[in-house]
Structure 1
């Protein structure tokens, strides 16, 4: 038998973290003994448990320590991380540590060092700087030969998501997906969270799909942008194209937005809209020349909103601003989510999951879709901090605009 002592600190009781750690030990054929325990006496005071974990052999113990480490359990005597050089550009060394989206520290040079720009499914690279060593979360495609990469999980500490405080806008949501609550209450919570994000100096990200335009909800998103309630917009070619189609022809997917009937030759309108923007030299030039006079993209240009349009294999055109290289699009999104405090994802599975992969777990994340599967898929892929609202995007954006006084 082999054993190791670990420390678990924080709000480990009401968040059920302690129970999850102990259950994990047992499921993986280990045993435990709680050597000492201190319970926080106030809402802000953390609890602390010292747990001796025992396993039948070394490999089993290491597996247990790895899994409970993802829940925040740290070896009582921290051991420095092991660093190995990347063998080639775009290649991690064997056994590299794969990150989660939880805040993470590494133990090196006698102290804990926070990992910058954490996101899931990346590696950790350590750099020597004049002011001391720094640790960075780096995707595999950005690795350079010789980069010093963390290998194994020794000396790695993750911080589990904190409990939802009673004062939180979303405390009333007992589960991550809401389909049977009064939806106005959920939207009011989103509006409150947006105001709190703005007050904290963080930015507001909206991730949108083309259904926003098809359902007539574009006018409400446009109003939110013009009022300054959106700082970053992620979308694909479709949302931008059909928004411009509506601005130029009054249709979306060839359907007249006033009557709901197919317009004559309406199936051509989206391509003609793309052509008009390409002829003008891009959306900003189309606005300057008076070609594009309204809509979501017009508002983004006028307000100077950061827009990332990520393309796909099915796109017509696309618009000049669409990034057709998926790796480049992902990097542009990665850079744009820094300093984002809340992400609101509306009617898009593909871009919601892509964005969720890039977000730290500390970013408040709202996913709105008329299919619960979209919200569940986002959470199943690791964005556990997400709150889901199952409803129509037109209702959501109309109600949100009203909640923001627009």
Structure 2
């Protein structure tokens, strides 16, 4: 089975409903960070706006943001906090073209797939077969390694076991990771494992708690602050394996966002959440595949800034978004928050990562 990007079908703008539609209307921002009344909020789907008689696709989108027309007539999708007095903001709440705004949800529709009116097991659960999901993901990642930009979002479970940590290292070294997003904990326990072979004081292979092991992550954080950088920590403490070591060795981008509960944190952590969000979005803007695993909050945060499509070399293609967790609740919560195209898989981190690493070597 060889992966192939699905063909995207644009709306037929030669039909009467589009030809007769008015140009979009705009209102001016009168106070910083405050959108005009009746502002249009974006979704994850392709949205077209009629500007000067032409239907234009907003090539970058993010749900819960607004569309701004710059002084060159180009569409920019911005968060409310970035609005400034004088900005021209598209207004209108309909999405059927009647206000010059059209939401296109069927661009990648597969006409070959037929749904029965009555069928069992229509919802994804721990009982759902995932054989095809894995096969599709293997082929997708092989394609993306040469043609895309893969962003991984991971929680501490990715490094709590030696098997998961070693498999993640293989995937990074093999070129299947372009950027890594997460929080202080996953990086801290990965580096703790690199020095002490523990995560939260528990041996990552035997799972036995070691004497005074509850000090290990604190000692790690203390060492990191002493060296002032992760690179110096890795060098001085002779860390030769793991997530952070492999990312740095392979020039994989790392973005760690701070949390109210952080101890430390590591020098690389961005303490201002809005600054962290901006850095995360830089990579989401380039992403063609996003894989979120074992971190509910970072998964939802990433999902909220990830559209269902990407424009690459002038062509519209799907943006593939996966969420993996042991809990049905955790993987389905993202869909409830608006990321309707997410692909969910029920698996623990070690099994998922080892299966990927074994099939992608």
Task: Tell me how far apart the structure 2 counterparts of residues 46 and 307 of structure 1 sit (CA, whole Å).
Answer: 35
**Deviation, structure 1 residue 219:** 1.3
1:160 aligns with 2:105: yes
1:332 aligns with 2:279: yes
Q: Deviations over 1:220-279 (max 9, x none)?
A: 111100111100111110000000011110101111123211111100111111111221
Relative contact order: is structure 1 or structure 2 higher (C-alpha 8 Å, sep ≥ 6)?
2
Q: Residues 216-365 of structure 1: matches in 2 within 5 Å? A: 216=162, 217-289=164-236, 291-362=238-309, 363-365=319-321
105-114 vs 344-353, greater mean Cα deviation = 105-114
1:394 aligns with 2:339: no
Name the structure 1 match of 2:96: none
Q: 1:317–1:165: structure 2 CA closer, same or farther, 3 Å change rule? A: farther
Normalising by the residue count of structure 2, what TM-score does the alignment of the two structures yield?
0.86
Normalising by the residue count of structure 1, what TM-score does the alignment of the two structures yield?
0.76
SS at match of 2:70: strand
Q: 1:49–1:144: structure 2 CA closer, same or farther, 3 Å change rule? A: closer
Output the aligned Cα RMSD: 2.5
SS at match of 2:67: strand
**Deviation, structure 1 residue 289:** 4.0
SS at match of 1:365: strand
Name the structure 2 match of 1:98: 41
Q: Deviations over 1:43-91 (max 9, x none)?
A: 9988979999xxxxxxxxxxxxxxxxxxxxx666211111111112211
Q: 1:252–1:143: structure 2 CA closer, same or farther, 3 Å change rule? A: same
**Deviation, structure 1 residue 176:** 6.7
SS at match of 1:205: strand
Task: Tell me how far apart the structure 2 counterparts of residues 402 and 391 of structure 1 sit (CA, whole Å).
Answer: 16
Task: Tell me how far apart the structure 2 counterparts of residues 46 and 231 of structure 1 sit (CA, whole Å).
Answer: 30
SS at match of 1:117: coil
Task: Tell me how far apart the structure 2 counterparts of residues 314 and 250 of structure 1 sit (CA, whole Å).
Answer: 24
Task: Tell me how far apart the structure 2 counterparts of residues 315 and 44 of structure 1 sit (CA, whole Å).
Answer: 43
**8 Å CA contact 2:13, 2:19 repeated in 1:** no
Q: 1:134–1:214: structure 2 CA closer, same or farther, 3 Å change rule? A: same
**Deviation, structure 1 residue 159:** 1.4
Task: Tell me how far apart the structure 2 counterparts of residues 296 and 349 of structure 1 sit (CA, whole Å).
Answer: 19
**Deviation, structure 1 residue 106:** 1.0
SS at match of 1:95: coil
Name the structure 2 match of 1:375: 331
Task: Tell me how far apart the structure 2 counterparts of residues 399 and 235 of structure 1 sit (CA, whole Å).
Answer: 22
Runs of 5+ consecutive residues of structure 2 not aligned to the other structure: 1-6, 94-98, 114-120, 310-318
**Deviation, structure 1 residue 142:** 1.1
Task: Tell me how far apart the structure 1 counterparts of residues 268 and 340 of structure 2 sit (CA, whole Å).
Answer: 32
Name the structure 2 match of 1:13: none
Among candidates 71, 78, 82, match of residue 25 of structure 2: 82
- Count of residues in correspondence between the two structures: 332
Structure having the larger proportion of residues in strand: 1
Q: 1:352–1:227: structure 2 CA closer, same or farther, 3 Å change rule? A: same
Q: Return the index of the structure with the highest Cα Rg.
A: 1
**8 Å CA contact 2:156, 2:185 repeated in 1:** yes
Task: Tell me how far apart the structure 2 counterparts of residues 79 and 105 of structure 1 sit (CA, whole Å).
Answer: 13
SS at match of 2:58: strand
